[in-house]
């Protein structure tokens, strides 16, 4: 008898989802692969072109976006019932702007050189379509925990592509990884350079970032035919 009553009770109460249920996990893993913001939704391309010439700024950028989108999604989700829908874009902008300024100030204080390298692009996180897109599409309609996972997932999906692109661009364009000369010294002609190898200057230019993203999209869609749209 007792057992039956418990069952009834749980049915009356909303069945509580575990923190990392299958559905919640999908919120993180989906944007990493089959619903990647860059390769599938084709958002946030501008910064992917601008700062991926080297690995270090790309990783800082990825972490910054993870922070901004994760926290921002939670904040918007908490306020979702009190934001008048007419001015929601302004509210969203204020939230992003506040978070971006925090990131910018932290970078200026603790990593001045990097922040100079990233220059305007940290500020331009505000205009990153992925962030406003997730606020609009997800945080306004879901609870804070789910929104948090969604934010982290999408930002990580963005970051993964950034890092892959930056890896190839830095390795082939400058012959370095994180600034270490992994292929030898181009001036003293050591390592690969002794055999006549030369850095590919095209990789450092923005068009090659676009082409690299294109190649990633190509590989991804040829492995998973379901992603090909007409």
Partner 1 sequence: MGLKKKLHELKLKYKDKKMAPAFNAFHTFLYTPNEVTHSGSHIRAVDDLKRTMNTVIISLIPCLIFGIFNAGYQHYSAINGFPQDFSLFRDFINWDNFQLGAITVLPLVIVSYVVGLTVEFIFAVIKGHEVEEGYLVTGMLVPLIVPIDIPLWMLAVAVVFGVVIGKEVFGGTGMNILNPALTIRAFLFFAYPTWMSGDKVWVHEAVDRAGTPDAISGETILGGLAQNKDILVETAAKGQEVAYTISEAFYGFIPGSVGETSKLLILVGAAFLIFTKIASWRIILSGFAGAAAMGLIFNGIVDAGWIEESSKFYGLMSTPFWQHLIIGSIAFGVVFMATDPVSGSQTNKGKWIYGFLIGFISILIRVFNPAYPEGVFLAILLMNVFAPTIDHYVVQANVKKRMKRLKVKTA
Given the rule CB under 8 A, which residues bind partner 1?
A: 196-198, 200-203, 205, 207, 211, 214-215, 218
Contact present, 129 and 43 (Cβ < 8 Å):
yes
Distance CA 165, CA 58 (A): 9
Q: Which is nearer to partner 1, 42 or 87 (CB)?
A: 42
Closest listed residue to residue 136, CA positions, set 121, 123, 151, 124: 151
Q: How far is the CB of 164 from partner 1 (least distance, A)?
A: 17
- Given the complex with partner 1, which of 127 and 199 has the nearer CB atom? 199
d(CA 47, CA 102): 19
Distance of alpha carbon 135 from alpha carbon 72, whole angstroms: 8
Cβ neighbors of 40 (< 8 A, separation 6 or more) are 34, 227
Work out how close the CB of 207 gets to partner 1 at its nearest, in angstroms, rounded to a whole number. Answer: 8
Cα 15–chain centre separation: 32
For residue 177, what are the β-bridge partners? Answer: 180
Taking the least distance from each CB to partner 1, the nearer of 179 and 201 is 201
Count the helices and strands in the chain (H runs, E runs).
Answer: 11, 0
Question: From the CB of 201, what's the least distance to partner 1, in Å?
Answer: 5
Residue 41 or 200: the one with the smaller Cβ distance to partner 1 is: 200
DSSP state of 54: S
Residue closer to partner 1 (CB basis): 84 or 196 = 196
């Amino acid at each position: 008898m007792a057992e039956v009553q418990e069952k009834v009770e749980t049915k009356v109460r909303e069945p509580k989802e575990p923190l990392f249920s299958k559905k919640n996990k999908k919120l993180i893993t989906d944007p990493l692969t089959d619903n990647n913001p860059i390769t599938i939704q084709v958002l946030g391309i501008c910064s992917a072109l601008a700062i991926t010439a080297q690995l270090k700024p790309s990783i800082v950028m990825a972490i910054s976006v993870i922070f901004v989108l994760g926290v921002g999604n939670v904040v918007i989700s908490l306020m979702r019932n009190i934001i008048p829908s007419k001015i929601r874009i302004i509210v969203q902008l204020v939230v992003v702007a506040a978070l971006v300024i925090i990131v910018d100030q932290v970078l200026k204080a603790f990593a001045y050189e990097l922040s100079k390298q990233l220059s305007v692009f940290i500020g331009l996180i505000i205009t990153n379509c992925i962030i406003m897109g997730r606020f609009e599409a997800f945080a306004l309609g879901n609870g804070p925990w789910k929104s948090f996972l969604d934010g982290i997932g999408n930002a990580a999906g963005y970051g993964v592509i950034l890092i892959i692109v930056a890896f190839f661009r830095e390795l082939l364009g400058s012959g370095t990884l994180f600034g270490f000369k992994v292929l030898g010294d181009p001036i003293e002609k050591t390592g690969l350079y002794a055999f006549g190898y030369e850095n590919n200057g095209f990789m450092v230019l923005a068009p090659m970032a676009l082409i690299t993203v294109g190649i990633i999209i190509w590989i991804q869609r040829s492995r998973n035919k379901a992603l090909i749209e007409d």
